[in-house]
Amino acid sequence: MNDEWLDTIVVARYDATARIVVLDLSSPAGAELPEFAAGAHVDVLVDSAAGLVRQYSLCGPPHDRTRYRLAVLAETASRGGSLGMHRLRAGDRLRISRPRNRFGVADRARRHVLMAGGIGVTPLLAMAHALRVAGAEYELHYCARNRAEAAFLEELELDPRVRLHFDDEQDDKRLSIAADLGPPDPDTAIYVCGPGGFMDFVISSAQTAGWPAEAIHKERFAPMQDAEAHTAGGTFTVRLAKTGGEYEVKDGESVLDVLLARGIDAPYSCQQGICGECIVRVLAGEPDHRDDILTDRERADGMFTTCSSRALSPTLELDL
């Protein structure tokens, strides 16, 4: 868990839609905020008494360090995070982490195609800001059920590189992978963010059309599997290379649960396998990957999420 919180103050708040609130945060002292790259997110301490922490993407221009902008959707099944954010007003104080990023712009790509579904537009909006300033070739496809549920329309409709797709409008205005993405191109990077169903559709359609997995960059706001699916399985032992300590991980427990219960200073944040904060390297053993963030290459390189993945071998040695 983050132990270096930044104090911020809500300097502006407005309702972008009936269910999306936009919050601008600044330093109470007027100092510059830490720099961030497009695609980054921050941890937000929504309720300090309850220890409630949630992750939200930064959607403002990365070059503006006077304020961070967040856009938060009120989830119907909220456990307090999004509803707590919606209760904030100008002048309220909020503690956040320094920005972290596992969803950045691909440096080697010549063309960038941003595919956003609903509130998934937030990190892609920051990418669009950065790509525009850099003079890069990009296009943003923003999909929503209807105009009333789409945030930032006044800003996006002015950008000729933005394509809006609404479910309740003409068929020719809806997202078409074949037409809007085109055939596979080694110089093009695809970025996908939004609800699970939307992301699965875009990713599977792109792969069916021949796009390689390494061309598709994604960020999920919710795991594909629930916590029980992450922790179900047989007992195994996790060994820490730096201390030699060995700990048994049973069915229903995560590696992270066990380490924290033993007082091990292990990194973590979301505890759902989608933020990447808990990633460590496997030195020996065979992992059972159940996260939604690591690429095939990262898994082959030994990366492992302690909050959501398990072991296929009796023992797993970690670089901790």
3-class DSSP assignment, residue 124: helix
- The pLDDT value given to residue 51: 83
Length of the chain: 320
196: enclosing H helix or E strand: helix 196-208
What is the architecture, at CATH level 2, of domain 6-96? Beta Barrel (2.40)
Q: Where are the domains of the chain?
A: 6-96, 111-220, 227-318
- The pLDDT value given to residue 295: 85
Q: How far apart are CA 223 and CA 275, in angstroms?
A: 10
- The pLDDT value given to residue 227: 65
Fold of 111-220: Rossmann fold (3.40.50)
Residue 226 confidence class, pLDDT cut points 50, 70, 90:
low
pLDDT tens-place string over residues 190-224: 999 999 999 999 999 999 999 999 999 999 887 66
Same CATH fold assignment for domains 6-96 and 227-318 = no
- The pLDDT value given to residue 292: 83
- The pLDDT value given to residue 5: 94
Q: Look up the CATH number of domain 227-318.
A: 3.10.20.30
- The pLDDT value given to residue 222: 72
Is 80 exceeded by the pLDDT of residue 225? no
In Å, what is the CA distance from 14 to each residue of 44, 155, 165?
18, 15, 24
Structure tokens belonging to residue 81: 């995070």
- The pLDDT value given to residue 270: 78
Q: Which residues pair with 15 in a beta bridge?
A: 21
**H helix and E strand count, the chain:** 7, 18
Residues 6+ apart with CB under 8 A from 98: 4, 6, 34, 42
- The pLDDT value given to residue 276: 82
